[in-house]
């Protein structure tokens, strides 16, 4: 049996879906797309408009199919890493420096390599129609390919782990160094800074990681390649409104990014699994 990350789990409908995967498009230039106005999501090019398995989606909990899966392991996430944060005009992205960080399971312990992390405010995935104030994407690629760009062109090339944040009266202390770094880059696209201290990836994950929603989808930015396995953790972290407001002050090419989420896309004939991990 193949790894849970590859999700060949005797679900014929998933295999049918995978045959629809496209060869992918190169990402559009930063100035050519945005989240509102003439360059908003309705005008994103190519498969962003024509694709049938696009992301994000609204997760309808009563419709999710229960499945018991094998363990989902985060390797080296408890270690601390030097990290940098940059304003790419559409979000703030985090790169870790040092030994590679992986996700996998018992059969494929080094299944996917962490490429980068970034935030969306509000959340891109909704659950039963509810949009949380913040979502973190941990973007991984299959190390069979030379790099992320090559992996993005192939089925099973990309896996994204999504963490949703619910609103709290209190600051999330583990977001503090990221929020402080965001302040330093917010005024100019392309600006980069070191995150103070070292970043421990596990602190950006909920402690309870035993249940996830899984579905086949796409990147949520142009070119929206339809080759992404999405794992949306059911357990949420917290964030304060004041911390969210810092992200909202980040400047993009067309002024402040008051929000940077793509609207939810049609599920079509896809199935969302609720996987209970061992």
Q: Tell me the catalytic residues.
A: 90
Sign of CA dihedral 174, 178, 181, 187: negative
HEC assignment per residue over the chain = CCCCCCCCCCCHHHHHHHCCCCCCCCCCCHHHCCCCHHHCHHHCCCHHHHCCCCCCCEECHHHCEEEEECCCEEECCCCCECEEEEECCCCEEEEECCCCCEEECCCCCCCEEEEEEEEECCCCCEECCECCCEEEEEEEECCCCCCHHHHCCCCCCEEEEEEEEEEECCCCHHHHHHHHHHHHHCCCCCCEEECCCCECHHHHCCCCCCEEEEEEECCCCCCCCCCEEEEEECCCEEEEHHHHHHHHCCEECCEECCCCCCCCCCCCCCCCEEEEEC
- Closest by alpha carbon to 41, among 244, 238, 221? 221
């Amino acid at each position: 049996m193949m790894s849970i990350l590859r999700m060949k789990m005797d679900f014929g409908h998933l295999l049918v879906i995978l045959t629809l995967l496209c060869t992918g498009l190169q990402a559009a230039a930063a100035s050519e797309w945005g989240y509102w106005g003439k360059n908003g999501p309705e005008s994103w090019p190519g498969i962003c408009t024509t694709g049938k398995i696009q992301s994000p989606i609204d997760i309808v909990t009563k419709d999710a199919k229960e499945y018991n899966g094998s363990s989902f392991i985060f390797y080296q996430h408890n270690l601390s890493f030097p990290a940098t944060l940059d304003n790419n005009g559409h979000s703030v992205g985090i790169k870790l420096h040092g030994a590679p960080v992986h996700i996998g399971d018992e059969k494929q312990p080094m299944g996917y390599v962490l490429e980068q992390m970034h935030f969306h405010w509000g959340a891109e995935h909704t659950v039963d129609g509810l949009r949380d104030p913040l979502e973190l994407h941990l973007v991984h690629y299959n190390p069979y390919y030379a790099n992320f760009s090559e992996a993005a062109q192939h089925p099973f090339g990309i896996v994204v782990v999504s963490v949703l944040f619910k609103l709290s009266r209190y600051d999330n202390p583990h977001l503090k160094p990221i929020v402080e770094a965001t302040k330093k880059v917010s005024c100019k696209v392309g600006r980069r800074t070191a995150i103070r201290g070292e970043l421990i990836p596990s602190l950006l994950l909920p402690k309870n990681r035993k249940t996830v929603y899984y579905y086949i989808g796409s990147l949520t930015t142009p070119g929206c390649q339809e080759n992404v396995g999405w794992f949306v953790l059911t357990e949420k972290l917290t964030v304060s409104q004041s911390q969210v407001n810092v992200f909202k002050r980040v400047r993009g090419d067309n002024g402040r990014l008051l929000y940077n989420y793509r609207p939810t896309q049609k599920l079509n004939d896809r199935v969302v699994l609720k996987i209970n991990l061992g």
